[in-house]
Structure 1
């Protein structure tokens, strides 16, 4: 009895989590893969097998693969986001006046609902809105633009909104990792005359390497799966339609659930491949600072 308890006891504790994981993650993914090989309108009780036709259409029809290029705006913005988050995390990890206040200010945007953020920035970027008013007040009125109406700058405006919203998440991850580094190491570095830059280069950066790697993985997957910000603010108009918006419209507007499922599978495969490449280029090595 004791042997059986030792062998199966841990699985009994894991069983509820495994059941939820399989039910709400792996089963839906399996169904999505199954749908991707069929033609289905989402309402009919029967599905027509089409083989690989949905995948061929995704890769050959310009409407479906071209929207992947929009992700490059958010991918570039994610590097800005990581740089800002890392900078503020390093600065606020030391003794700075009102640092708790600044921590709250930086993290607050991430707590807001994505729909609320979209509407706030929709008013910010509208013609004659907050941004145009501020530019006019400081004598830069000639630089006002149709921030969401001009295809040349609309994606930059949307990517900037994403930076504002998600910098807080990266900031908290970096700050927690930095604060987990033993304080004795900083004290020893200060006694040796190390500057803040040297402390960052030789202590902080190696110590939080895993978190930086995680942030890049999140940035890659996030830039490929952007949805709510452009959907709320532009609805995908003016060349701002992302791959996820295209898949959403394909499923719920054009009732092509098989094709939309194939798009989702392709997106999942791209994220997994890019993540695997990133892990190969930046392996998760053990870091010891003591």
Structure 2
């Protein structure tokens, strides 16, 4: 009986620890997702009881309207800068793994921007990139370079300017992840390679990179999703300007839903964004795994 009682208790505990997270997942993730897909096939203003069924019309509008689907090109700047950010993160992780005096201080300084609030960071860089009184133009003028650049007012610069803020904010976070991966590599491998006459580049190429390959894949996953879903920086600093040049796809979704009360179209745009993330990550995973093989 005691054995049966213990067995039953164990079963109850296992079932409870399984069912509760599953119920939470179904309630706050899968059910809203199914509702989102359902709304994407309707014409709903967010208030009326009736939801007119329009079929695939919302999706046709997303793909055929360049003012909607074309906004994706604004996210490319965040993707390219994110790739460069990962390269710098690996570089600093390799340097700060070594026996460098004050390395803990440098690690802290690089990681600090990540813990700052996104809105606070946006307001901070609003002063940095200000055309007339900004610190960046002041420094450029002090060294004899043009100091009247409108960093947030030029269509050709605004997205890369905003992406550079993300570079500053998230590079330290990626660096810490790479640093943790580097510290898990046995030192015996490096010592053995030194005995065999390997130089620094050969150690990095044949020992470091293969051992942090999965971490690189993880950080690229975060980079891609972050580039496609960026919202806070352009919303606070430019509100999508100038003339919509910095409007991201997420900003377009929010304005479609809450400004124009077209929740059906906004839902379809959200589904398209989800599919875009899945597609890009699938392609990324395919090429990374093929290169690893």
Normalized against structure 2, the TM-score is what? 0.92
Q: How far, CA to CA, are the matches of 2:291 and 2:70 in structure 1?
A: 36
Q: Which consecutive unaligned segments of at least 5 residues does structure 1 have? A: none
Alpha-carbon separation, structure 1, partners of 2:31 and 2:290: 30
1:158-177 equivalence runs, <5 A: 158-177=162-181
Q: Is the 8 A contact 2:193 2:203 kept in 1?
A: yes
Instruction: For 1:26-37, list aligned pairs within 5 A.
Output: 26-37=30-41
Question: Deviation digits for residues 245-271 of structure 1, max 9, x if unmatched?
Answer: 011100111111111010000000011
Q: Contact 2:127–2:135 at 8 Å: present in 1 too?
A: yes
Deviates more, 1:256-265 or 1:167-176: 167-176
- What secondary structure does 2:33 align onto? helix
Q: Tell me how far 1:275 sits from its aligned partner.
A: 1.1
- List structure 1 segments (4+ residues) > 3 angstroms apart after TM superposition: 1-11, 284-287
The answer to whether the aligner puts 1:230 opposite 2:234 as a matched pair is: yes
Cα RMSD (Å) of the superposition?
A: 2.0
CA distance in 2, matches of 1:34, 1:85: 41
**Residues 125 and 132 in structure 1, CA contact (< 8 A), matched pair in contact too:** yes
User: Match for residue 257 of structure 1?
Assistant: 263
Judging changes above 3 Å, is the alpha-carbon distance between structure 1 residues 79 and 5 closer, same or farther for their aligned structure 2 residues?
Answer: same
Q: Structure 1 length as normaliser, TM-score? A: 0.93
Q: Which residue of 2 aligns with 1:112?
A: 116
Aligned pairs (5 A) from 1:185-196: 185-196=189-200
Aligned length: 286
Secondary structure at 1:193 match in 2 = coil
Equivalence for 2:142: 137
For residues 126 and 285 of structure 1, the distance between their equivalents in structure 2, rounded to whole angstroms, comes to 44
2:60 to 46, 56, 63: 56
**CA contact 1:170–1:215 (8 Å) conserved in 2:** yes
Cα distance in 2 for partners of 1:12, 1:149 equals: 55
**Match status 1:270 vs 2:276:** yes
